[in-house]
Chains A and B, each alone.
Chain A
C-alpha cells in the first residue's frame, strides 16, 4: 500500500503540492488527472524519492520514502517508474537495457539477468528486439522497453508519468495495451495521464489534482462522468474540447 499524507513540495518559492492525501491499495489502478502544472508528475517523482519533499510523509508498505534512514535504493526496487521521454539507455541494446539493473542492483549472474530480461521483453511484445539499439526502435517500442526495464526489478508498484504524451498518435495504442495487460495481471499502478478515455475505462479510482491539492477523488464514473466540483467540470470540458493530438502533445 502507498499512503501519502499531507505531502508538501516547493521548488524554491513556487509551491507545487499543498498537502496531498492519497492512498493506493494493493492491486488498484489510480489515475491522476489535472491541468499542466497541477503537480501530478511531481507527486509521482516524490513517491519514489526522486524529488525531496518539504512536509508530510509517503509510506510504501509502511516504509517512509523520505526518511534519511531508509535505504532508498532498496525501496526503489519495489517502485517501477516509466517516464514521458522513454529514457532508454542509448548505448545498450534492448536486452542489456532490461538486464542492467537485475545484474548491478539485484546482483544476479549475467546469464540469469539476460534470461530474465528476455522474459520481460517477451511480456511487452519485444521478444524479437533484444539485439536492437533503442535508436532502432519506434517511440512506442522504446516506451514498452522502458516498461520491461522497470518490470525486470519485479516491483510491487508501477508508476507511469504521462507515458503516451510524447508518442505519435498511432503508437499510443500499443503502450496502453501493455498497461492494460499489467492491470489484468493485478499490478498496482499509479498513472499520471491526459488520456481521459484511458482513465475512464481502466482506473479503479481517479484523482483530479488542481493547484497542488486533490480536488476530487472517486471512481471514474464519479469523477469523470459526474464531477461534483466546479474545477473538475471546467477541466473536463476543456479536455473534451481539445482534439486528442493536442492533449497528447501537451507537456506536464
Chain B
C-alpha cells in the first residue's frame, strides 16, 4: 500500500455545508422533475400528432436536448443569455437547463407510453362528452404513467445527477459545496467519496418514494 491516510474528521466538520448543498440539489431535482413533466405531457401529445407547428416545436426541443451535452445546455442558458445582457442567477440557470433536458427526454418516454394505449380509449372518453384535455387528464395520462413508470423515474434520477453541473456556474449545490470544501482542505478523495455516498442516498430516496407513490396511486 502507498499508505494514503484518510482524514474523515475534516469531512465530518464540513457536513453542514455538504447537507446544505444537498438540500439545494434536492430542490432543483424536484422542481426540474415537475417542470419537465408538465412541459413533456403536451409535447408528447404534439409529437404523436406528427404534423403542425406544435409537432415541429417539440421535435426541435427533443432533438436539441437529447443530442447536445447537458453542460452545453447549461452554458447556453447561463453565459449565452448573459451575452444578451439577460443575467439569471446560477440557481435559475441550473433549474432551467435541467428542466429543458428532462422535458426533452421525458417527451420521448411519454410518447412511447402513449403509443402503448389503444386509440379507442380516446374515442371512448370523447364519446362520453369529455373534451380532449379532460380525456388526456382522466383517461390517457393515468394509463401512460403506469406504462412508463420505470423509465420516468430513471430520468428523474438522471436529472438529479445533472444538477451537479451547477458546480461549473458557481452554484453551491452538493457538488459545488463539495468542490468548495475540498479546495480549502485538499482532502479531495474523502470529500468526493462522501459526496458520492450522499448522491447515492438521494437517488435511492427518490426511487423509494416514487415506488411508494406508484403503489398508492395504482393500488398494485
Contact = CB atoms under 8 A, between A and B. Distances in A.
Interface string B109-139: 0000000001011011111111100100011
A108 interface: no
A80 B124 CA distance: 10
Given A85-B120, A87-B121, A76 B127 contact: yes
B138 A74 contact: no
A73 B130 CA distance: 6
Given A50-B123, A83-B123, A73 B146 contact: no
Given A89-B139, A91-B142, A91-B218, A105 B123 contact: no
A73 to B, nearest CB: 5
B143 interface: yes
A104 B218 contact: no
A97 B139 CA distance: 10
Given A90-B143, A91-B142, A104-B134, A76 B124 contact: no
A194 to B, nearest CB: 19
Given A100-B138, A104-B138, A105-B134, A87 B128 contact: no
Interface in A61-102: 73-74, 76-77, 79-81, 83, 85, 87, 89-91, 100-101
Given A90-B143, A91-B142, A101 B121 contact: no
Interface of B: 118, 120-121, 123-131, 134, 138-139, 142-143, 146, 218
21 contacts: A48-B127, A50-B126, A73-B130, A73-B131, A74-B129, A77-B128, A79-B127, A85-B120, A87-B118, A87-B120, A87-B124, A90-B143, A91-B142, A91-B218, A100-B128, A100-B139, A101-B128, A104-B138, A105-B128, A149-B128, A153-B129
A25 to B, nearest CB: 22
Contacts, number: 58
B126 to A, nearest CB: 7
A77 B123 CA distance: 14
B119 to A, nearest CB: 10
B28 to A, nearest CB: 31
Most buried by A among B126, B127, B130, B131: B127
Interface residues of A, number: 24
A60 interface: no
Nearest to A96: B138
A149 B125 CA distance: 10
B217 to A, nearest CB: 9
Contact of A50 (B127, B142, B143): B127
A150 interface: yes
Q: Which 8 A-B pairs have the closest CB atoms?
A: A87-B124, A101-B128, A77-B129, A76-B129, A105-B129, A81-B127, A73-B129, A87-B120
A41 to B, nearest CB: 12
B123 A87 contact: yes
A87 B124 CA distance: 6
A74 B121 CA distance: 19
A105 B120 CA distance: 19
Contacts of B134: 104-105
Contacts of A89: 121, 124-125, 139, 143
A187 to B, nearest CB: 16
Interface in A92-123: 100-101, 104-105
A150 B129 contact: no
B143 A76 contact: no
Nearest to A87: B124
Given A89-B121, A91-B142, A76 B126 contact: yes
B62 to A, nearest CB: 27
B204 to A, nearest CB: 28
A46 to B, nearest CB: 12
A91 B120 CA distance: 15
B19 to A, nearest CB: 39
Given A45-B123, A76-B126, A91-B142, 19 more contacts: A48-B127, A73-B129, A83-B123, A83-B124, A85-B120, A87-B120, A87-B121, A87-B123, A89-B125, A91-B143, A91-B146, A100-B138, A101-B125, A101-B128, A101-B130, A104-B130, A104-B138, A149-B128, A153-B128
